[in-house]
A and B are shown apart, each in its own frame.
Chain A
Amino acid sequence: TAGILIPDLCVLAHLERLEAQVNKSHKKSEELQSAQAEESALETKIHQLRHIRDKLRAEVKQRQARANASSANVEPDQTVEISEQDVLERKQENMKAILQAYHFTGLSGKVTSRGVCVCISTAFEGNLLDSYFVDLVIQKPLQIHHHSIPVFIPLEKIAAKYLQTDIQHFLFSLCEYLNAYSGRKYQADQLQSDFAALLTGPLQRNPLCNLLSFTYKVDLGDRSFPFCARLLYKDLTRTLPTDVTVTYQGMEALSTAWEKHRASHETLFCTVPLHRVFASFSREGEKLDLSLS
């Protein structure tokens, strides 16, 4: 990873760090492999359990049918019919499950009496976040009946541009804005909840989460280096900022080494999601302490 924070004075220390990095990346790929193996094992288990469940269900139905048949003297053909019904029921359940699972594609919908109700499910880094709905009335002109899009997302603008001429573009554009908003909100929420200890003041944010301002410190032994960061997200379809300013808040002038750190922080905030930057800060905080002792 980029962003070297420790000024190295010794070649050995540098080699040690390189070795540690290689070991870490080995560990990561091992972890990934084991996670994948676990996943496929669980999948197989799910299939097996489903198979057992279906068998048990069929058996229960058969026994019930036999009980009814013996009391009412019914023909044995009934048992064949019941298992057909069972197959159809299972198919219907399967279909319902697939329709429900469509949420995970990010864009799904249900036909209504007037048209269609579209559901946009947002996600960031594999985390499923909020869902938003747009209920459309199919008539000329196409109309939005009601929706749950937040007021600060420019829905009217996007609709004015694309709704009548290219509905696909309308939906994709809306998806873009909503996913980006969800992602920015997620990063800000994560920063507030998980890394409050590294902040020296409250996180300043706005509804769109497109302007974030916060103060944080980097501790080196008994010295504390306070910084102030201001992140502007001028492109509402992106989850990374377009403008970042990091300013040093201490009294004395910043040494060249620390000036490099400050600049590297600016680059970090521009290229890496906010909470990941702070995760790396908290890890490197430990490294910094170790290098001193």
Chain B
Amino acid sequence: MDEIVAEFIRRTILKIPMYEMMTILKAWNFLSENQLQTINFRQRKECLVQDLVLLCEEKCASLNDAALLDIIYTQVHRHQKVWDVFQMSKKPDEDIDLFDMEQFKCSFKKILQRALKNVTVSFRDAEENAVWIRIAWGTQCTKPNQYKPTYVLLYPQTPYAFTSSKLKSFMPLLGQALTVASKHHQIVKMDLRSRHLDSLKAIVFKQCNQTFEDHNSITPLQERCLELDVNVDSRIIHENTVEKERVQRVTQETFGDYPQPQLEFAQYKLVTKFKSDLNGGILAERKEPLRCLIKFSSPHLLEALKSLAPAGIADAPLSPLLTCIPNKGMNYFKIRDK
């Protein structure tokens, strides 16, 4: 096991928090139960890591084994990275997609290896027939940098791939490899980005609302109506009940009853002319359009937007520019004058 691999494994294991150590090592399945039992997991972390690396050395861990451990760590800590979404498309009348996983993996690797002699490509199959791909980039003459890899979560037989990459210069090559290996025609980057991979998936696969009215279940609407009637005290009069109910209804129609997908921001790039009700003014006379950037940030943007009207902070209905985010699958907008 060479020094690069040893150091890479050491640094990867060091990142793992102690309470996750066993779970991740077991998922990695490289060190056996018996071997893990010989280690003292109560010692200081640096010593523990040293012992583990020694075990890996005894077992001759390869670069691919180390890459797999890195993939597992990333799967568990996916929210630490920001994920982009790519959408691939086929030509309109193309044949049925007969996706062959082995063929894809082989083709994908070949394309990257032909382009850059030095590149590490690793795969890990995931649930729902998806596959995680890790790429460490090198060049014709330099070895791959294992500490700035790109991760891809690909859903075969769907147009979508989710990527996280610190090195942006390799993205066109990555796009080409994904497209050709999965037998698509072209690839486009969506204006959608978030730390929450599962939310991105819910948005593009349109899986946000998964409650359906069925004769086998009571609708949540019926249940809520019952609740409202119970808390009425006839001595209390709400002056604006009508308006409150209208706001509730509009909010429910726009956002639904289900938990919103989690996004951290929405960004609007405006290239528009200034519009004002007042006559005159310096800005109104500008011939050139104004350029400005408006960014809404929140730990959970869509839930925050949903609570604006009921909290009385904004009028209902909210601007469609805000409410269209999950439906359009965008949180980056460029707005120009029509």
Is A215 interfacial (CB-CB < 8 Å)? no
B209 in complex: contacting residue of A146, A205, A234, CB < 8 Å: A146
Q: What string of 1s and 0s marks CB contacts (under 8 Å) between B207-220 and chain A? A: 11110111110000
Contact yes or no, A151 B205, CB < 8 A: yes
Contact yes or no, A206 B205, CB < 8 A: no
Residues of B close to A234: CB separation below 8 A: 95-96, 98
Q: A102-B215, A148-B210 are in contact. Are A207 and B205 (CB under 8 A)?
A: no
Is A204 interfacial (CB-CB < 8 Å)? yes
Contact yes or no, A206 B213, CB < 8 A: no
Stretch at the interface among A34-42, A109-117, A189-197: A109-117
Contact yes or no, B157 A110, CB < 8 A: no
Q: What string of 1s and 0s marks CB contacts (under 8 Å) between A114-151 and chain B? A: 00010100000000000001010000000000111001
Distance A146 CA – B101 CA, assembled complex (angstroms): 30
Residues of B close to A148: CB separation below 8 A: 207, 210, 212
Q: Within B93-113, which residues are at the interface with A (CB < 8 Å)?
A: 95-102
Residues of A close to B156: CB separation below 8 A: 206-207
**Shortest distance from the beta carbon of A115 to any chain B beta carbon, whole Å:** 10
Distance A148 CA – B208 CA, assembled complex (angstroms): 10
Is B129 interfacial (CB-CB < 8 Å)? yes
Residues of A close to B210: CB separation below 8 A: 146, 148
Contact yes or no, B99 A133, CB < 8 A: no
Contact yes or no, A100 B206, CB < 8 A: no
B158 in complex: contacting residue of A99, A151, A236, CB < 8 Å: A151
**Shortest distance from the beta carbon of B107 to any chain A beta carbon, whole Å:** 15
Is B221 interfacial (CB-CB < 8 Å)? yes
Contact yes or no, A207 B100, CB < 8 A: no
Nearest A residue to B221, CB-CB: A113
Residues of A close to B96: CB separation below 8 A: 210, 234, 236
Residues of A close to B212: CB separation below 8 A: 117, 119, 133, 135, 148
Is B223 interfacial (CB-CB < 8 Å)? no
Distance A100 CA – B218 CA, assembled complex (angstroms): 12
A117 in complex: contacting residue of B97, B102, B128, B213, CB < 8 Å: B213
Max count, chain A CB within 10 A of own CB: residue among B155, B158, B214, B215: B215
Contact yes or no, B157 A152, CB < 8 A: yes
Q: A148-B210, A151-B158, A152-B158 are in contact. Are A206 and B215 (CB under 8 A)?
A: no
Distance A133 CA – B214 CA, assembled complex (angstroms): 9
Is A232 interfacial (CB-CB < 8 Å)? yes
Is A55 interfacial (CB-CB < 8 Å)? no
**Shortest distance from the beta carbon of B317 to any chain A beta carbon, whole Å:** 17
Contact yes or no, A210 B102, CB < 8 A: no
Distance A103 CA – B216 CA, assembled complex (angstroms): 10
Q: A146-B206, A206-B156 are in contact. Are A100 and B215 (CB under 8 A)?
A: yes
Q: What string of 1s and 0s marks CB contacts (under 8 Å) between A222-241 and chain B? A: 00000000001010100000
Size category of the binding interface on chain A: 20 to 34
A146 in complex: contacting residue of B157, B208, B216, CB < 8 Å: B208
Max count, chain A CB within 10 A of own CB: residue among B95, B206, B210: B206
Distance A68 CA – B232 CA, assembled complex (angstroms): 33
Distance A135 CA – B212 CA, assembled complex (angstroms): 7
Nearest B residue to A152, CB-CB: B157
Residues of B close to A96: CB separation below 8 A: 215
Q: A102-B215, A110-B215 are in contact. Are A206 and B209 (CB under 8 A)?
A: no
**Shortest distance from the beta carbon of B262 to any chain A beta carbon, whole Å:** 18
Contact yes or no, B99 A211, CB < 8 A: yes
A112 in complex: contacting residue of B100, B101, B213, CB < 8 Å: B213
Is A208 interfacial (CB-CB < 8 Å)? yes
Q: Within A135-182, which residues are at the interface with B (CB < 8 Å)?
A: 135, 146-148, 151-152
Distance A236 CA – B97 CA, assembled complex (angstroms): 10
Contact yes or no, B213 A211, CB < 8 A: no
Residues of A close to B214: CB separation below 8 A: 110, 117, 119, 133
Is A213 interfacial (CB-CB < 8 Å)? yes
Distance A232 CA – B206 CA, assembled complex (angstroms): 29
Distance A208 CA – B101 CA, assembled complex (angstroms): 12
Q: A146-B206, A206-B156, A207-B156 are in contact. Are A232 and B213 (CB under 8 A)?
A: no
> What are 27 A-to-B residue pairs whose CB atoms are below 8 Å?
A96-B215, A100-B216, A102-B215, A103-B216, A117-B212, A119-B214, A133-B214, A146-B206, A146-B208, A148-B212, A152-B157, A206-B100, A206-B157, A207-B128, A207-B155, A207-B156, A207-B157, A207-B158, A208-B97, A208-B99, A208-B157, A210-B97, A210-B98, A232-B98, A234-B96, A234-B98, A236-B96
Q: Give 10 new A-B contacts, CB below 8 A, not counting A117-B213, A117-B214, A148-B210.
A: A100-B216, A135-B213, A146-B208, A146-B209, A148-B212, A206-B101, A207-B128, A210-B96, A232-B98, A234-B95
Residue ranges of B at the interface with A (Cβ–Cβ < 8 Å): 95-102, 128-129, 155-158, 160, 205-210, 212-216, 221
Residue ranges of A at the interface with B (Cβ–Cβ < 8 Å): 96, 99-100, 102-103, 108, 110, 112-113, 117, 119, 133, 135, 146-148, 151-152, 204-208, 210-211, 213, 232, 234, 236
7 closest A-B pairs by beta carbon, nearest first, are: A133-B212, A152-B157, A207-B129, A99-B215, A146-B209, A206-B99, A151-B158
